[in-house]
Amino acid sequence: MSLFGLGSRNQKTFRPKKNAPSGSKGAQLQKHIDSTLGSGNLREAVRLPPGEDMNEWLAVNAVDFFNQVNILYGTLTEFCTSLNCPTMSAGPKYEYRWADGVTIKKPIEVSAPKYVEYLMDWVEAQLDDESIFPQNLGSPFPSNFHDVVKTIFKRLFRVYAHIYHSHFQKIVSLKEEAHLNTCFKHFVLFTWEFRLIDKGELAPLRDLVESILQL
The overall average pLDDT reported for the chain is 85
Which among 133, 131, 174 has a CA at the least distance from the CA of 152? 133
Predicted TM-score (pTM) of this structure: 0.85
CATH number at residue 28: 1.20.140.30
Say if 7 falls within a structural domain.
Answer: no
pLDDT in tens, 106-145: 999 999 999 999 999 999 999 999 999 988 767 899 999 9
Which among 11, 29, 154 has a CA at the least distance from the CA of 72? 11
Look at residue 196 and give its three-state secondary structure. coil
pLDDT in tens, 19-30: 655 555 566 666
Q: How many domains does the chain have?
A: 1
According to DSSP, the β-strands at 88-89 and 95-96 are antiparallel
Q: Using CA atoms, how far apart are residues 171 and 180, in angstroms rounded to an integer? A: 8
Give yes or no for a contact between 63 and 127, defined as CB atoms under 8 angstroms apart: yes
Say if 58 falls within a structural domain.
Answer: yes
Domain residue limits at 65: 22-214
Angle, to 10 degrees, between the axis of helix 145-173 and the axis of helix 112-128? 140
Say if 11 falls within a structural domain.
Answer: no
Q: Which residue has the higher pLDDT, 194 or 28?
A: 194
Say if 12 falls within a structural domain.
Answer: no
Q: Which residues contact 115 (CB under 8 A, 6 or more apart)?
A: 88, 96, 98, 158
Say if 197 falls within a structural domain.
Answer: yes
pLDDT at 162 over 70: yes
Q: Percentage of the chain with pLDDT > 70? A: 80
Say if 1 falls within a structural domain.
Answer: no
